[in-house]
Amino acid sequence: MSSSVSHKHTAILDAAYELFGSGGFYETKMSEVAEKAGIAKGTVYLYFKSKEELFLAVTRRDCEGFLEQLDVKLKACGSLQEQLTVIAGHHLMYYYERKQHTKLFFRAPNNHSELVAYMTQFMEEYMRAVMRVMQDSGAAEPELLAESYIGTLDRLKMDIMLRPGFTEADARKRAEFAAGLFIHGALGSRQEQTAPERD
């Protein structure tokens, strides 16, 4: 019974992830979620109080997976370069694997304070993880650095979502590029060649 309950719970989350992710919050109907989950409309409300709450649950599950996996990966590596590459790789690959479900991340419902609160908390946790790496490197302004890094990765991921022909290799290349950029700056390689006094 409890496994049946949990099975339906998961089925709803999966269906909602699929639909919210590809269509967005407002474009997705609860009846569609129910249908895709293979259950009746009313049943969804036995597991989730409202559409907003369902969206929040979907988001939460996705974000928690993101943070947990990042944690595992970061623990397994050492140098700054390596850690930044791991973060970037994780960020970009995570979205690469979910490129069909991008709407989840920017077609959310407005005015739902719980969701806003959760997203804020998620960002803080993600920030903290990245900040820790920055701090370990001894960089000044680790907070701004972390924020910048996340911003860079977020924008680089846009290519993944918008360009159809994007490959996994492209994603990996960008991950390394981002790490290099934050360690050496934009002129890193050029400076090595022509500006010896500065590097």
Partner DNA sequence: TATGAATGAGGTTTCATTCAT
Partner DNA sequence: GATGAATGAAACCTCATTCAT
Enumerate binding residues for its own copies (CB under 8 A).
Answer: 23-24, 26-27, 80, 103, 106-107, 110-111, 120, 134-141, 144-145, 147-156, 158-159, 162, 174, 177-178, 181-190, 192, 195-196, 198-199
Closer residue to its own copies, CB minimum distance, 72 or 199: 199
Q: How many residues bind DNA (CB under 7 A)?
A: 19
29 binds, among its own copies, DNA, none (CB under 5 to 8 A by kind): DNA
Closer residue to its own copies, CB minimum distance, 10 or 136: 136
Which of 42, 78, 165, 196 is in the footprint of DNA by CB under 7 A?
42
Q: Does 22 bind DNA (CB under 7 A)?
A: no
CA distances for 199 relative to 187, 193, 194, angstroms: 10, 10, 10
